[in-house]
Amino acid sequence: MKIAPQQLCGHRGVAAHAPENTLASISKVREMGLSWVEVDVQLTQDGVPVVFHDHTLLRCTNGTGALKDTALADLQQLDAGGHFSPVFGYERVPTLAAVLAQAHRDALHINLEIKTYPDSDIPALCRAIFACLSASPISTEKVLVSSFSLEALAIVRDEMPELARAILWETIPDNWHEFRDLATFSIHCNYRHLTQDKAKSVKESGLVLKCYTPNEPAEVDTLWAWGVDMMITDDPGKYLTHPC
Ligand code: G3P
Ligand code: MG
């Protein structure tokens, strides 16, 4: 079996080849022939949705403190690429608007992970994302919203039901069907915790099944056989050349 680009989604752009969640990283997705990208969305202190994974700035920028306490103008002074390689030192934490514009230009499907932490204002984050999507040229058909936050997914269901939704779980719980109304498109889980029974149950429900974030193709040979539709990975190129 040969893995096709349509079975792969770049994680945080293509995080193995450019600094995660930057425009440079998202550019790699189309360059590699993929059509899906996953990014994480949070709010700045002044309420602007930006693409960034961590709660704090330390790991992925040359700044400090919490993203939620940093205004966009200050955030955009920071180097968001040098942590990966000095050649990316010009990269900035991108706004969601810029990322959507680039995804639209590259004709990508985008998986927007609503990234929440215990101190996140989840309703404000969701509404800022809705406003940004409404102002963007991207078609809602190209957008999948995913989250570990059931509260966020319920807000999406109630306020922008035309958006496709995915529930993120580390381990799919036994009672996952009780949350079925929060997912219209897919269930995403950690590849390490998927079982054949859970894969069967998701597939029988008619939902798409995706796994994050396997970066060694040999680790998931069995999971394809269980019916997993897509791997969300930092290193899609490895799959395209993997002999299986
Ligand atoms: O969307 C799957 C994956 O991104 C979830 O985990 O921590 O990489 O955002 P994380
Ligand atoms: Mg994510």
Q: How confident is the model at residue 244 (pLDDT cuts 50, 70, 90)?
A: low
Average pLDDT, the chain: 97
Q: Which amino acid is at 65?
A: G
Residue nearest to atom 5 of ligand 1 (CA): 212
Atom of ligand 1 nearest to the CA of 111: 1
Which of 169, 218, 183, 209 is CA-nearest to residue 7? 209
* Domains of the chain: residue spans and CATH: 5-240 (3.20.20.190)
Q: Is 155 in the pocket of ligand 1 (CB under 6 A)?
A: no
Task: With residue 186 as reference, give the H or E element that holds it.
Answer: strand 186-190
> Residue 83 corresponds to which tokens in the numbers above?
């942590």
Quick check: helix, strand or coil at residue 60? Answer: coil
Quick check: helix, strand or coil at residue 86? Answer: helix
* Strand segments (E) across the chain: 8-11, 36-43, 49-51, 109-114, 143-147, 164-169, 186-190, 208-212, 230-233
* Ligand 2 ion: Cβ-proximal residues, 5 Å cutoff: 40, 113
Pair 48, 72: CB distance under 8 Å? yes
CA–CA dist 32, 120 (Å, integer): 34
Residue nearest to atom 2 of ligand 1 (CA): 212
How do residues 165-212 score in pLDDT, each as one tens digit? 999 999 999 999 999 999 999 999 999 999 999 999 999 999 999 999
How do residues 118-141 score in pLDDT, each as one tens digit? 999 999 999 999 999 999 999 999
